[in-house]
Amino acid sequence: MNSLAQALIITGLILLLLSLKPAFSISQLPTEQQQGWRILLGLIFAFITGYFGYLYMLSDHPVTQLEMVVALVFCGGGGFVYIITRMSEKTIHVLVSQANRHLHQAHHDPLTRLPNRIVFYKKLSQISQDNQIFCCLILDLNDFKKINDTHGHNCGDKVLKSVAERIRSCLPEHAVAARLGGDELGILLFGSFASHGQVFVEQLHGLISQPINYQQHIIHIGVSIGIAEYPHHGSHRKQLLNHADIAMYQAKRNKKPYCLYEANFSTANKNTSN
């Protein structure tokens, strides 16, 4: 009977030891129940200590019927903890993965895989409170409606995806690019226009303007870029976006690749057609 009781305790002990890995894995996840799983992890260590103690106690005398029942409970307890931790690990990892995927979908444009306007506006509001110089760029593709009407929306989608990929390929570290809607994109670029922005904008314009091949057609892309610099051209999000937008329409009207906002620009520039 001693051997059977010891075998039951050892089985429960092994199951508890196997429970440590999933319990530790769950305790590292950024979930609301993280603290509870860390407490459970500590309890498993305490149980393991108790199992070793009970195993030692059974080794120096014949096992009674009550002690055999306790050994069965210990074995079942180890199995229960193992099943719960293993099932919970799989379920929680699936739920966390789904939550992360939904969060990514809520904050990214599905076509271009760029962050969407929600992320862009939030980031713009955050960095405008940090009192560091940065540039807000608004990009608008020229004659995009004509591309859609002539070659179809699939071609328009390919143009947008290609432009997004080209932006990603030259985007400086910590800069943020987003699709704001339609063929309008935004970029937040740290540093002043004179020291950092101008070189980047010229490089970006040259990259985006390269033709795209679509079904044996060569699609020529044009882009107008408006730039507003914080804090010289605005001290808050709405003002910066408005001034960058005005500068973009000024560039479009004058058929220039880009334009830095100036105070004498008129909002009448927005009457310029795409």
Pair (258, 155) in one structural domain: yes
Pair (262, 156) in one structural domain: yes
Q: What is the mean pLDDT of residues 221-232?
A: 94
Q: Which of 60, 130, 149, 183 is catalytic?
A: 183
Pair (248, 126) in one structural domain: yes
Number of domains in the chain: 2
Domain assignment of residue 111, yes or no: no
User: What's the pLDDT tens digit per position in 26-67?
Assistant: 888 776 667 788 888 899 999 999 999 988 888 878 888 898
Which domain-ending residue is among 106, 138, 171?
Answer: 106
**Separation between Cα atoms, residue 230 and residue 252, nearest integer Å:** 22
Pair (80, 5) in one structural domain: yes
Pair (29, 160) in one structural domain: no
Q: Give me the domain span that covers residue 195.
A: 117-270
Domain assignment of residue 200, yes or no: yes
Which range has the worst mean pLDDT, 1-10, 113-122, 198-207, 249-258?
1-10
**Terminal Cα-to-Cα distance of the chain (whole angstroms):** 89
User: Cβ distance 181 to 117 under 8 Å?
Assistant: yes
Please give the structure tokens belonging to residue 111. 């076509």
CA 158 centroid distance within chain? 23
Pair (160, 218) in one structural domain: yes
The SS3 call for residue 260 is strand
Domain assignment of residue 265, yes or no: yes
Q: Mean pLDDT in the chain?
A: 89
Pair (34, 88) in one structural domain: yes
Which domain-ending residue is among 55, 78, 106?
Answer: 106
CATH no. for residue 199? Answer: 3.30.70.270
pLDDT at 57: 86
Pair (259, 130) in one structural domain: yes
User: What's the pLDDT tens digit per position in 107-125?
Assistant: 999 999 999 999 999 999 9
Structure-token match 């050892």, residue found: 10
Where would I find the beta strands (DSSP E) of 8-104? none
Pair (98, 152) in one structural domain: no
183 catalytic residue (yes or no): yes
DSSP assignment, residue 31?
Answer: -
